Amino acid sequence: MNKKIQLLDLGQKDYKETWEYQEDLFKDILDLKIRNRREELELETPNYFLFVEHPHVYTLGKSGDLSNLLLSEKQLEDKGATFYKINRGGDITYHGPGQIVGYPILDLENFFTDIHKYLRFLEEVFIRVLADYGLTGTRSEGETGVWLGVGTPFARKICALGVRASRWVTMHGFALNVNSDLGYFDNIIPCGIRGKAVTSLNVELGIEEVDVAEVKEKIKKHFTELFESQFVAFQKETV
């Protein structure tokens, strides 16, 4: 089992370009797994992890409800935002500047074959990151992601998750609000959940800006601990 994960920080990149790149990496792993099975080989499958920050974009999961987008095409254009229907689970969400987005493209057969466990591990990464900042992040029953104030009238989501998996290979991932402009969430019903707010790390800490590089280091630390893995330099040709 290969527990090394090739790490690449794409900086700020268009959502559609990044999605296509994810698909390429995802397909490469699937193709190798199919070849292994067909030819009775045991070639090592790679794992990837992409960090990225997207320009303003709304994405709707395959089971999502388009009515949860509260903007017309013209209003989207006026806000400098784009919109895509995509092939992950979950409903509608927003990505934009000040948010850390991560796409683990893993062959779970290198780790464990349990999608439920995978999602819980992703949540646990951010529960631990928030704890590093003195915040109590928790799960909310039936609502994937990480929340603050669950069980109170002030429940608010700080980290969204949405994944796709095929033959135990994952893509898509998480979005953690760090220094996000929360006004953009007013244009959707986030994740299709009414009556609950969205928050950002800088808001919770009462400061203007959180060090994004520091947060990424904490994510990497907790991710590798939970997945008993190691990040290594990215080896595949990048976009």
DSSP-assigned letters across all residues of 78-138? HTT-EEEE-SSSSSEEEE-TTEEEEEEE-BGGGT-S-HHHHHHHHHHHHHHHHHHTT---E
Q: In sequence order, what are the residues at sequence separation of 6 or more whose Cβ sits closer than 8 angstroms to the Cβ of residue 18?
A: 10, 50, 52, 54, 103, 239
Q: Is residue 127 part of a domain?
A: yes
> Where residue 138 sits, what CATH number does that domain have?
3.30.930.10
Q: Is residue 238 part of a domain?
A: no
The answer to the question of whether 90 is labelled as a binding residue is yes
Q: Give SS3 for 239.
A: coil
The answer to the question of whether 174 is labelled as a binding residue is yes
User: Which alpha helices (H) appear in the chain, and where do they start and end?
Assistant: 15-39, 73-78, 115-132, 201-205, 212-226
By 3-state DSSP, what share of the chain in percent is helix, strand and coil, each rounded to 5? 35, 30, 35
For residue range 163-197, what is the model confidence (pLDDT) as tens digits? 999 999 999 999 999 999 999 998 887 655 566 78
Separation of alpha carbons 77 and 124, rounded Å: 36
The answer to the question of whether 160 is labelled as a binding residue is yes
Short-list 50, 46, 49, 48, CA closest to 32: 46
Q: Is residue 146 part of a domain?
A: yes
Is 38 within 8 Å of 51 (Cβ atoms)?
Answer: no
Separation of alpha carbons 203 and 214, rounded Å: 17
The answer to the question of whether 175 is labelled as a binding residue is yes
Question: What pLDDT score does 90 carry?
Answer: 76
Q: Is residue 208 part of a domain?
A: yes
pTM over the 0.85 mark: yes
Catalytic pick among 29, 129, 178, 191: 191
Q: Is residue 189 part of a domain?
A: yes
Q: 71 is in which domain, residue-wise?
A: 4-233
Question: How many structural domains compose the chain?
Answer: 1
Structure-block tokens of residue 232: 């290594």
Query: Does the active-site annotation cover 159?
Result: no
Question: What pLDDT score does 124 carry?
Answer: 98
Question: What pLDDT score does 190 carry?
Answer: 64
Q: Is residue 239 part of a domain?
A: no
Phi/psi of residue 224, nearest 5 degrees: -70, -35
Q: Which stretches in the chain have pLDDT values below 50?
A: 239
Separation of alpha carbons 164 and 186, rounded Å: 26
Direct distance between the N- and C-terminal alpha carbons of the chain, in angstroms, rounded to an integer? 27
Q: Is residue 23 part of a domain?
A: yes
Q: Is residue 183 part of a domain?
A: yes
